[in-house]
Structure 1
């Protein structure tokens, strides 16, 4: 995403000048008029120039990368963000120091950043956007941790022949456990509860 503020005799002239500087296409540009300007006496004296802010979309991965980098810079973090498009989802990977601040407790900060970026991209592109953010390999570590937990609970259920209810967790975490256990011939898995209180139940077959 490229953004520039430019002045001109009128709005159209200011927009054209801005697009020339950033090599942008008007069809891909979003224009915010800061000032429409005012003609002076006889068109010469006392007038003010028009001023516009022009944003040109570069593609969801590139724009998401820049938006996230700007957020992390404002947080005072020294990071590098990489991006790619997988199907219809933008995947972002953050590298740098102090990754704990980006991840948060149980990935809460990552989740908040994903929601924030998805909203920003939706406004920019006028369509729903899906965003996934990883930092310091957190996603893979989290998946492995949940799979170990799922296996431990499944073993307990098989040994005791009694169902066990797992603690509340996010939809993404529930999906990881569900996918891991769905091929286990000795246990059944289902959900109960609503919203934040929704839990997985592991039962013997």
Structure 2
């Protein structure tokens, strides 16, 4: 959480200044008095009061929600009855969008909503000192997408086992590649790794091999990560 110091003639004025300048609402910040200040005698020896302000996650949740609502207000694909809910868990802000006719908002393979998620993450990290990630779901899209990716991974793994030849999947987002790696990890006889550079990074599924180095560099300079399912980078 972000923390900063504010000074004013009195503690009350310092608190009012914090609320006014940052737009904080009730419960969105805490403060502790570092110096209550002193009026002195005939203004001799007077000093300002100072407080340390701690911004609560409730503030960031609201700001992300407002940011997304503002962006979507300019989108012709956003339904008028769109409901936006946000909450903070495990250093992440989870946003859920619900409403009618959300398909066009999601975009092909979730590209539109992923772009919005990326913008929201950039926005929140510009106003906080602690790294945060924004995760957006539309309806139950992510659950359905996750099951689809698992099914694709299992089908491709079966092809590799039957033919003994590696297969290359289409480029995917990092969280989708992690789903593939986790799925392949549970299937005997195959292994997976990510190859290429963003945004064209993709997964290769191949017959399981022993004694392979975990990392090597491709001739074109792109990094190939073996056993990439162990990496959080995807």
TM-score (normalizing by structure 1): 0.69
Alignment of 1:173-184 (within 5 A): 173-184=176-187
Aligned to 1:77: 79
SS at match of 2:199: helix
1:36 matched to which residue of 2?
none
2:162 match: 159
CA distance in 2, matches of 1:160, 1:23: 62
SS in 2 for 1:114: helix
Matched pairs, number? 166
The CA deviation string for residues 85-140 of structure 1, in whole angstroms up to 9 with x for no partner, is: 12011000001123123211111111111111112212222443200000021111
2:193 matched to which residue of 1? Answer: 190
Q: Tell me which residue corresponds to 1:60.
A: 60
Unaligned runs of 5+ in 1: 1-11, 29-55
Helix, strand or coil: the match of 2:188?
A: coil
- 2:107 — aligned with what? 104
How many Å separate the matches in 2 of 1:144 and 1:99? 19
Contact 1:69–1:80 (CA<8 Å) still a contact in 2? no
What is the RMSD of the two structures over their aligned residues, measured on CA atoms?
3.0
Residue 143 (structure 2) aligns with: 140
Mapped contact 1:119–1:129 kept (Cα < 8 A): no
| Residue number among 172, 188, 207 corresponding to 1:169 in the alignment | 172
Q: Which runs of 5+ in 2 are unaligned?
A: 1-12, 31-54, 209-234
Q: Report the Cα offset of residue 174 of structure 1.
A: 0.9
Q: Does residue 135 of structure 2 align to residue 121 of structure 1?
A: no
CA distance in 1: counterparts of 2:110 and 2:29, whole angstroms: 38
1:201 and 2:191 aligned: no
Mapped contact 2:29–2:59 kept (Cα < 8 A): no
Write the deviation string for residues 46-101 of structure 1: whole angstroms up to 9, x where unpaired: xxxxxxxxxx9842222212221232233353201111112011000001123123
Deviation track 1:8-63 (CA, whole Å, cap 9, x = no partner) reads xxxx9xx75x74x97669978xxxxxxxxxxxxxxxxxxxxxxxxxxx98422222
Q: 1:25 to 1:59 in 2, by over 3 A?
A: closer
**Alpha-carbon distance in structure 2 between the residues aligned to 1:166 and 1:134:** 23
Quick one: distance in 1 between partners of 2:198 and 2:25? 47
Structure holding more helix per residue: 1
